[in-house]
Amino acid sequence: TITYKVDYSLGSLYQISNSNNTRVGQLMSLKDGSTPTEPLNSSLEIVSLEPVYRAFLETFTPEEIRVLAQNNEVLLVGYALSESGSVLEVDFSMYRNRPHLYNIPPQYLEKLETKLKSTVSYVIPPHMAYLREYKFITVSQDCSFKSFLDKL
């Protein structure tokens, strides 16, 4: 069983993360402990969206997905990645003014986290090889429940 903590200090967002997480929500740093001087100037690409779709479809019932989609709900998923692009940690964020998401049971978050960590990966392209010098890399993904409707 995973224990989750909620961070209410982020203005318009609630961030929910595994209490054992040490990377997500932290600033990226280099392996030598220094702060990067180069901005992350392009986004990383996920290898495939299929594992994300599958994780949500195996966690939420079709009716739950429909209701959340009707309410335009979006769950923000944050990832801490290894230098090879595999997922080390996952966290979830939701907008404070979106109360339908408050009803997501912790067991759902646990199931999503487990599935996403074991199936999602990102590509570190050759022109971004400098990211291999980071202790970890953080990326985020907006998961709109509307995007799952045509997968039901």
pLDDT tens-digit map of 89-133: 999 999 998 888 988 999 999 999 999 999 999 999 898 888 889
pTM for this model (two decimals): 0.92
Residue with tokens 């022109």, as numbered in its chain: 127
CA distance 61 to 89: 25
pLDDT above 70 as % of the chain: 97
Residue 123 has phi, psi (to 5 degrees) of: -95, 130
- Are 98 and 13 in contact by the 8 Å Cβ rule? The answer is no
